[in-house]
Structure 1
Amino acid sequence: MSPMKAPEACENLNDIRVGIDFFDRQILESLQKRLRYVKAAAQFKANEQEIPAPERVTAMLEERREWALEAGMEVAFVEKLYQLIIEWNIQQQILHWRTNYLPVPSAGTAS
């Protein structure tokens, strides 16, 4: 594999692709690390209904829009990207919560 060059130093499409592939892997690794925090948050939720936290989602999206502006990125794209990430992470946290924190009914309780 070729070493990654700065974008302005790339001499061909292969050089460009090496850089893109590197950052795509970084994005995926970051999403995986983020998900670990999302799952860790489940331990602080008293029940499954607390997981979506719509007020937190609203605040996060506003902050991400501000970050997009500061970074010179298209705000609508960044907002949609984070909406997808957040929605998927919420579903993953719900599944994690159900697996690890859902109270188990006692043997004497009727279903």
Structure 2
Amino acid sequence: MTRAKLPHQCETMADVRAGVDQVDRELVALLVRRFGYMDAAARIKTDRATVRDEARKAEVLDNVARAAEVAGLEPARLRAVWNELVEQSIAYEAVQWDRVRARD
């Protein structure tokens, strides 16, 4: 597969779309890895009530907002994206927690 052009190299909308599609594939691969950590958390946590950890959620969102600011992006926009990601991760982990216990 050919690497897409970098954003500053794009000359057409086809170039832009190819770049976006490539980034999306890379993001999916990273999300597979991230959700793998949710699988590990579901396996490790002994109490289902600890699946939702609001202090940890706040820490993750703060970390992302700081990283976004350093990178020159809008912290609030990335915080909103990550809020949804964290909520979906929590929901996924809860399902996995139940599945792990159902097999035992």
TM over 0.5: yes
In 2: Cα distance, 1:30 partner to 1:6 partner = 19
Alignment: residue pair count: 104
Post-superposition offset of 1:43: 1.8
Corresponding position of 2:64:
64
Confirm whether residue 24 of structure 1 aligns to residue 21 of structure 2.
no
Gaps of 5+ in 2: none
Residue matched to 2:14: 14
Unaligned runs of 5+ in 1: 105-111
Structure 1 segment 39-58 matched on structure 2, within 5 A: 39-58=39-58
Partner of 2:68, secondary structure, is: helix
- Identity of aligned pairs, percent? 27
Letter of the 2:54 partner, please give it: P
Shift of residue 99, structure 1, vs aligned partner: 0.7
Aligned partner letter, 2:78 = V
Per-residue deviation, residues 31-79 of structure 1 (Å, max 9, x unmatched) = 1210011111112211110110111111111111111111111111111
> Structure 1 stretches (4+) deviating beyond 2 angstroms?
6-11, 101-104
In the superposition, the TM-score normalised over structure 2's length comes to: 0.89
TM-score by length of structure 1 reads: 0.84
CA contact (8 A) 1:2 1:15 kept: no
Q: Secondary structure at the match of 1:101?
A: helix
What root-mean-square deviation, in Å, do the aligned CA atoms of Structure 1 and Structure 2 show? Answer: 1.8
CA separation of 1:6/1:103 partners in 2, compared to 1, >3 Å: closer, same or farther?
closer
Whichever structure has more helix as a proportion of its residues is 2
